[in-house]
Amino acid sequence: MRVSSRRWWPLAAGALVLSAAALLWVRAHGVPGASRDETWTRIQREGVLRVAMDASYPPFDIEENGTFRGYDVDLAQEIGRRLGLKVTFVNVGFDSLYDALQAGRCDVIISALPYDRQRTTVAAFTGGYFNAGQVMVTRQDDTRVQREADLAGRRVAVEMGSQAHAEALRLRDRVGVALQIATARSSDEALEMVRAGRADAAIVDGIAARMALRAQAGLAIRGEPLTDESFVIAVRQGSPGLFAAVKGTLDALRGEGWLEKLAEQWL
């Protein structure tokens, strides 16, 4: 059966009008379901945002004598301040963070938490706020390495067995970058090999790289991160109001360059 093209136009026009009406309604009334977000309603009523973190991961999450500090603590406090909420912290082991969220022991997780696709049925994730992915580091005076292909023919130091080691193997064996892998016992040792001229470059995670650069001069991060291991904030599924508030605040902080300043402060 052939449908005349003339008969499509009324249908298409109708769909367009309906879509526009739906968009206007959402703009006027907010996200559907947000008003039924009991978590967000309670948070607004009590004025308290409960943040779960595994406070054993400096410089992001630190707890000493009942006092929390670190990158994530400052981030949570700033989000709370902008939302007009007091922030309290719940210290939970890393593998129990999602359980705490599901059980209602906390409202959000801010804990150097990597995005986990498998958890999307129980948690909604914001965009990343810090990429801890693997980066290339060379001596400050050596600008030859700017992208992964530039590692070809060079001696690259990695912490044995680490994600950096796995990335170096991937580049060598799957991408075909003919680099020479030199293993070290730690990220610090790998970076020291670069400083001492025993390696042309190192691959280390973004945290180790920034900490090393902070502690000693003479090294530089080169190019874009090789991997994306971004930290995100998790909110329990079914809390669209809370999610929109947290995500919106985080987006604003990113847009203002506030997150980068925070990273410079702690890393």
Return residues touching other proteins (CB under 8 A): 54, 56-57, 93-95, 116, 118-119, 159-162, 165-166, 169-170, 182-186
Q: Which is nearer to other proteins, 208 or 242 (CB)?
A: 208
In angstroms, give the least distance from the CB of 205 to other proteins: 9
Contact 43, 82 (CB under 8 A): no
In angstroms, give the least distance from the CB of 206 to other proteins: 13
SS3 22: helix
In angstroms, give the least distance from the CB of 114 to other proteins: 10
Q: How far apart are CA 36 and CA 41, in angstroms?
A: 8
Contact 107, 236 (CB under 8 A): yes
Q: How far apart are CA 112 and CA 29, in angstroms?
A: 34
Q: Which is nearer to other proteins, 102 or 183 (CB)?
A: 183
Q: Which is nearer to other proteins, 35 or 186 (CB)?
A: 186
In angstroms, give the least distance from the CB of 59 to other proteins: 14
In angstroms, give the least distance from the CB of 88 to other proteins: 22
Report residue 139: phi and psi, to 5°. Answer: -65, 150
Q: Which is nearer to other proteins, 148 or 167 (CB)?
A: 167
Which region holds residue 83: left if phi is over 0, alpha if psi is between -120 and 50, else beta? alpha
SS3 4: coil
Q: Which is nearer to other proteins, 140 or 186 (CB)?
A: 186
